[in-house]
Amino acid sequence: MIYGILKQVQNDKERRRSSTFWPERRSTINMKTNFFYTYVLMSKKDNKFYSGYTVDLENRLSEHKKGQVFSTKSRLPIKLIYCEVCLDEQDAKQREKYMKSGKGKKYLKRRLRRFLERSGFGPNAGQP
């Protein structure tokens, strides 16, 4: 009787180690969660920033690059230079608003300093 119980406990331990027994351990993020992306583009034409937010970043970038967005179609080509992910839409909107402000632009220039220097937009070159 005791041997049977010990064998069952050992089998349970082995099952718990496998990922099929504890499927919730595979991923701690619910894949149905909607993410909201705040992004910054830089125009290669005028070297200026454009900030926005979206739920589908890949699709939105495609729209920008095809010239389907009024704000950027005259500034093509553009490049994605920065992106943040938020779990709440209001947070993403607030972050976009900040990126468009004077303090937000200073933050981006500090945050992207190395990229901007390598791209020729550092402190000794013209400012984007």
User: What's the CATH number where 72 sits?
Assistant: 3.40.1440
Residue 9 counted as domain residue: no
Residue 92 pLDDT > 50: yes
Q: What is the pTM of this model?
A: 0.70
Provide the 3-class DSSP secondary structure of residue 86. Answer: strand
Mean pLDDT lowest among 9-13, 28-32, 43-47, 123-127: 123-127
Residue 1 pLDDT > 70: no
Residue 82 counted as domain residue: yes
Residue 90 counted as domain residue: yes
| Full domain range(s) for residue 101 | 36-118
* Per-residue pLDDT reduced to its tens digit, 26-56: 555 555 678 999 999 999 898 899 999 999 9
Residue 25 counted as domain residue: no
What Cα–Cα distance (Å) separates residue 14 from each residue in 17, 35, 55, 125? 5, 36, 41, 62
Residue 10 counted as domain residue: no
- Cα–Cα–Cα angle for 75, 35, 28, rounded to 5 degrees: 145
* Per-residue pLDDT reduced to its tens digit, 101-117: 999 999 999 999 999 88
Start-end of H helices in the chain? 2-17, 57-65, 70-73, 89-100, 102-111, 113-118
User: How many independent structural domains does the chain possess?
Assistant: 1
Q: Say if residues 96 and 105 touch (Cβ distance below 8 Å).
A: no
